[in-house]
C-alpha cells in the first residue's frame, strides 16, 4: 500500500476536505495532543498576486485573508469556528482551525428538507447567540447562510467563513459595500445609500430561520431583477405548517425597513425564541494578534518546518485517524461479508474505530468501489466528458470544470483513496459554484457511475450508511 507522510510543524496532514480559488483545507492532527484540526493552506504567491493582504477598502468579492484571520481571533465563541493559530513557511500560510465534523447545515436541509420546529429553534438560538457576540465586537458577518453554518459532533451550530466580514474600524457609521449571497441579502444592502451591518445580519438570520422551517427559500427567482424586487417588497408567504409564533417573529425580522426591523435584543425577548432557551456560557478571552503580524510581516524566525514523503504508484492510503473523522467512528462492518475484506479492515482499524454514527455519514458525498483505481478514474473521466465538463487528472485526483447557466463557474474535485486492499473510497467535493447545483450533480454522477459503485449487500438496503457510501 502506498504511504504518504506530510507534516507542517507539529501537525500531521491528511486528506483535502475543501478547496476554493485561493486556498485548500486539509484535515490534520496535532501530533502533540492528538487533537483533530482543519488546516487552511494558502500559497503566498497567490496572496500577493491577488493583492489580498491589506486591501481593507477593496471590493468584498476579494478574499481578504488577513482580515478574516484577525476577525476570527476577535470573535471567539462556542458557536463560532475557533481559530487556534496561524503559521507560515517560506512559501505558504497555514491557518489552524477547529475541525467541525458534522458538515454544513445546508447539507442537512438538502437531505431532510424542512426540520422539526424545536430543532429549528435550537439552531436559530445558537445562531443569534453567535451573531450577537460578533456585533458586541462591532463585527458584521455579511454572508450568513446555511452553507456557512457548520454542525459539530454534538449537533451544535458553528458559524464559519468570515471572509466578507467588516472589521471594527470599518463598522463605524454605515457600510456601503454590496456583498453576500443574493437570496439572503437584506434589501438595504442592494441599494447605494449605505446600511447598518447589524440590521443586515438580522435579516439574513430571518431568511435562514425560514429555510430551516420550510426547506426552501422565501425569495427564490431565476433572474436577479425579479429576486431583488421581491426582497425589496418582502414579498413572501409562510407555509401552513409554520406555527403562529414563528410566523410573527419571521415577519418582524423580514421587515424591509431596517429602522423598524426587530433587533437582536428584541429577538431574544420574543416568546417563540425564548422557549427552552439556555444562553451559552461564555467568557471573553484575551486575544493576541502577534502570530498574525509575524506571518504577514514575513518574519523568518517564525517559519514552521514542512516535511513530506511521497511514493508514486497508487492512490493515497486513508489512514486510521482520517478514517475515524469521516463519521466519528465509522463502522464499515455493515458493508461487507465476514470475508477477506473485513479481515483486512479490522487489521487496519481497531475495533474502537468500528462504532457508527449514521446520521452524519448519510449527508456525505463519497462512494466505495472495488474496481481498480485506474478504472475508477477512467470511468469518472468518461462520464465527465459525456457531461461536457473539462477534465484534469493528476495522482488519482480529478478536477471537473464547467459553466453553469445559473451561477457561472462550476468545479468539482474527486479523489480516490485506498482504505483496504482492493477497496477504494472516492471523495467528491465542491470546489466552485452553487451548493444545491453540486448536490444535483452528485446524484447524476452516481447514476452514471452505477456499474463501478459497490452496492449494498442483500438485506442491508435500508442502511443509511450504505445509502451514502454507495450513493
Can you tell me the distance from the alpha carbon of 259 to that of 265, in angstroms, rounded to the nearest whole number?
Answer: 14
Can you tell me the distance from the alpha carbon of 157 to that of 144, in angstroms, rounded to the nearest whole number?
Answer: 13
- CB distance 9 to 313 below 8 Å: no
Residues 6+ apart with CB under 8 A from 208: 124, 127, 144, 145, 146, 149, 184
Query: What are the phi and psi torsion angles at 263 (to 5°)?
Result: -100, 175
Can you tell me the distance from the alpha carbon of 401 to that of 388, in angstroms, rounded to the nearest whole number?
Answer: 9
Can you tell me the distance from the alpha carbon of 265 to that of 64, in angstroms, rounded to the nearest whole number?
Answer: 30
- CB distance 34 to 28 below 8 Å: no
Can you tell me the distance from the alpha carbon of 386 to that of 341, in angstroms, rounded to the nearest whole number?
Answer: 33
Q: Which residues sit opposite 470 in a β-bridge?
A: 367
What are the C-alpha distances in Å from 302 to residues 90, 244, 398? 10, 57, 35
- CB distance 133 to 388 below 8 Å: no
Can you tell me the distance from the alpha carbon of 191 to that of 182, in angstroms, rounded to the nearest whole number?
Answer: 13
Can you tell me the distance from the alpha carbon of 199 to that of 261, in angstroms, rounded to the nearest whole number?
Answer: 7
- CB distance 201 to 135 below 8 Å: yes
Residues 6+ apart with CB under 8 A from 186: 195, 199, 200, 203, 204, 231, 258
Is 143 labeled as catalytic in the residue annotation? yes
Can you tell me the distance from the alpha carbon of 438 to that of 428, in angstroms, rounded to the nearest whole number?
Answer: 10
Query: What are the phi and psi torsion angles at 299 (to 5°)?
Result: -85, 110
- Catalytic hit among 129, 143, 152, 196: 143
Q: Is 362 annotated as a binding residue?
A: no
- Say whether 108 sits in a helix, a strand or coil: helix
Task: Enter the DSSP assignment of 357.
Answer: -
Pull the grid cell for residue 423: 477497496
- CB distance 253 to 270 below 8 Å: no
Residue 282: which of 79, 434, 431, 33 has the closest Cα?
Answer: 79
Q: Which residues are annotated as a binding site?
A: 49
Q: Which residues are annotated as a binding site for ATP?
A: 49
Supply the residues annotated as catalytic: 143
Amino acid at each position: 500500500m502506498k504511504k504518504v507522510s506530510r507534516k507542517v510543524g507539529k501537525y500531521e496532514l491528511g486528506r483535502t476536505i475543501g478547496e476554493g480559488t485561493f486556498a485548500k483545507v486539509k484535515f490534520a492532527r496535532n501530533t502533540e495532543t492528538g487533537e483533530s484540526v482543519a488546516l487552511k493552506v494558502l500559497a503566498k504567491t497567490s496572496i500577493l498576486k491577488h493583492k489580498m493582504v491589506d486591501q481593507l477598502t477593496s471590493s468584498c468579492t476579494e478574499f481578504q485573508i488577513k482580515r478574516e484571520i484577525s476577525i476570527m481571533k476577535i470573535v471567539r465563541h462556542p458557536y463560532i469556528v475557533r481559530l487556534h493559530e496561524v503559521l507560515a513557511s517560506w512559501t505558504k500560510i497555514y491557518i489552524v482551525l477547529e475541525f467541525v465534523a458534522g458538515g454544513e447545515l445546508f447539507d442537512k436541509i438538502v437531505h431532510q428538507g424542512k426540520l422539526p420546529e424545536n430543532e429549528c429553534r435550537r439552531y436559530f438560538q445558537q445562531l443569534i447567540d453567535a451573531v450577537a457576540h460578533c456585533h458586541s465586537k462591532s463585527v458584521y458577518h455579511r454572508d450568513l447562510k446555511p452553507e456557512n453554518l457548520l454542525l459539530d459532533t454534538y449537533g451544535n451550530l458553528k458559524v464559519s467563513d468570515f471572509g466578507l466580514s467588516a472589521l471594527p474600524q470599518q463598522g463605524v457609521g454605515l457600510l456601503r459595500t454590496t456583498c453576500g449571497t443574493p437570496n439572503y441579502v437584506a434589501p438595504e444592502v442592494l441599494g447605494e445609500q449605505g446600511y447598518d451591518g447589524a440590521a443586515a445580519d438580522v435579516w439574513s438570520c430571518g431568511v435562514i430561520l425560514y429555510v430551516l422551517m420550510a426547506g426552501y427559500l422565501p425569495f427564490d427567482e431565476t433572474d436577479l431583477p425579479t429576486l431583488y424586487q421581491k426582497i425589496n417588497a418582502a414579498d413572501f408567504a409562510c407555509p401552513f405548517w409554520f406555527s403562529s409564533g414563528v410566523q410573527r417573529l419571521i415577519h418582524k425580522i423580514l421587515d424591509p425597513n431596517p429602522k423598524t426591523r426587530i433587533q437582536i435584543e428584541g429577538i431574544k425577548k420574543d416568546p417563540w425564541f425564548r422557549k427552552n432557551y439556555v444562553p451559552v456560557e461564555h467568557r471573553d478571552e484575551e486575544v493576541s494578534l502577534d502570530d498574525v503580524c509575524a506571518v504577514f510581516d514575513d518574519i523568518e524566525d517564525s517559519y514552521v518546518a514542512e516535511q513530506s514523503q511521497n511514493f508514486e504508484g497508487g492512490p493515497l492510503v486513508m489512514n486510521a485517524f482520517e478514517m475515524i473523522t469521516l463519521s466519528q467512528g465509522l463502522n464499515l462492518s455493515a458493508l461487507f461479508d465476514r470475508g477477506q475484506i473485513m479481515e483486512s479492515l479490522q487489521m487496519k482499524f481497531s475495533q474502537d474505530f468500528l462504532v457508527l454514527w449514521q446520521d452524519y455519514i448519510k449527508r456525505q458525498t463519497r462512494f466505495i468501489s472495488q474496481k481498480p483505481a485506474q478504472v475508477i478514474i477512467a470511468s469518472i473521466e468518461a462520464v465527465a466528458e459525456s457531461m461536457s465538463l473539462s477534465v484534469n487528472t493528476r495522482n488519482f485526483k480529478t478536477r471537473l470544470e464547467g459553466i453553469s447557466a445559473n451561477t457561472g463557474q462550476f468545479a468539482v474535485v474527486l479523489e480516490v483513496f485506498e482504505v483496504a486492499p482492493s477497496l477504494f473510497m472516492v471523495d467528491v467535493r465542491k470546489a466552485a459554484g452553487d451548493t444545491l447545483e453540486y448536490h444535483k450533480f452528485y446524484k447524476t454522477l452516481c447514476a452514471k457511475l452505477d456499474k463501478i459503485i459497490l452496492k449494498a449487500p442483500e438485506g442491508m438496503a435500508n442502511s443509511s450508511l450504505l445509502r451514502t457510501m454507495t450513493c
